[in-house]
Amino acid sequence: MILSVSRRTDIPNYYSDWFYNRIKEGFVYVRNPMNVHQISKINLAPEVVDCIIFWTKNPEPMLERLDELSDYKYYFQFTLTGYGKDMEYNVPHKKEKMIPIFQRLSEKIGNNKVIWRYDPIIFSKTYTPEYHLKAFEQIAGALQGYTNKCVISFVDVYTKNKKSMEAMGVYEPDKCALMDFSKKISEIAKANKITVASCAEKIDLSKCGIEHNCCIDKKLIEDIIGCKITVGKDKNQRPECGCVESVEIGTYNTCKNGCRYCYANESQDSVLKECSEYDLNSPLLCGVLTEEDKINERNVKSLEERQLSFFDL
């Protein structure tokens, strides 16, 4: 099993104590967002967890306890952008705080296990292409040697973030301008020994030196765990997404980063309501069990290929 921690919320930043407790107890409950009374009990034993993928804007709360994950293999998707407090109001200062944290994490676990995400890229009167290129170059220079890969994406508009996008005056450049921008991003990254890939983008940027990316990446996971795995494409993601199947343990409406482009939160009020039920000792993230809830144990197992093929010899 590949564990996603988490596309829905920033567990490393706000709920790391809860996560470490779940690792210690060996299981977690996850409420189905489409059927709120359906709860899955997921086994977190090292024998069935092949790899953990952490998604975060600030992993600092986890750093001093990473030894508690010594029985697990993992890597981080670390989002680090050039946006200010107007866009990401709970994310600490990038130059003073977040870049040093990125560097510390890389030194602890290795630069191949920390993927830099510069996404989503939003174009507005404030955040122009020129602004992004300057910010990207500054961050790339600071992260040279601390990561091998950067993932970019252009903002998607969902029901949950549509009003916010409109209020910010977000616009979409024409294809020619977008290709020129992408080529410059690729060149900056290459100068800093970083490969750039795109996340779930319909547009083909290969001519710019940017390939399609898999955030939950079969090859990277195999490199990290040291063996082949049998896993298919995640059918629950968009057609453009190249990620393989994983088990998600996050909860919507619980991320407190305050990003204006967020698609995982309905509103600030919904976040406050959900977070009020946070209990670091609960099997559920920000929630309590009710009499109507039904708990089913999910059938999970290791994806490792136990038998060598001729081509592995």
pLDDT tens digit sequence for 238-251? 777 889 999 999 99
Q: What is the pLDDT of residues 209-234, one digit of tens each?
A: 999 888 999 999 999 999 999 999 98
Phi-psi region for residue 50, left (φ > 0), alpha (ψ -120 to 50) or beta? alpha
Which structural domain range is residue 248 located in? Answer: 2-312
Cα Rg, the chain, nearest whole Å: 20
DSSP code at position 259: B
Position 210 scores a pLDDT of 94
Residue 130 is predicted with a pLDDT of 97
**Phi, psi (rounded to 5 degrees) for 158:** -120, 170
Among the listed residues 127, 125, 131, 135, the one whose alpha carbon sits nearest the alpha carbon of residue 81: 135
Say what the pLDDT of residue 203 is: 86
To the nearest 10°, the Cα dihedral for 250, 302, 74, 231? -80
pLDDT at 247: 97
Number of domain units in the chain:
1
Q: What is the mean pLDDT of each run of 10 residues along the chain (313 residues)?
A: 97 98 98 95 98 98 98 98 94 97 98 97 95 98 98 78 79 92 97 94 90 91 96 85 93 95 88 95 95 96 77 52
Predicted confidence at residue 213, as pLDDT, reads 86
ω into residue 6 within 30 of 0, thus cis?
yes
- pLDDT value of position 242: 80
Q: Given this model, what pLDDT does residue 99 score?
A: 98
Can you give the pTM of this predicted structure? 0.93
> What's the DSSP call for residue 97?
I
Q: What is the CATH number of the domain that holds 122?
A: 3.20.20
Which stretches of the chain are assigned E, i.e. beta strand?
A: 2-5, 27-32, 35-43, 51-56, 74-79, 114-121, 149-154, 195-198, 211-212, 247-248, 294-297
| CA 110 centroid distance within chain | 18
pLDDT number for residue 262: 86
Do the Cβ atoms of 247 and 29 come closer than 8 Å? no
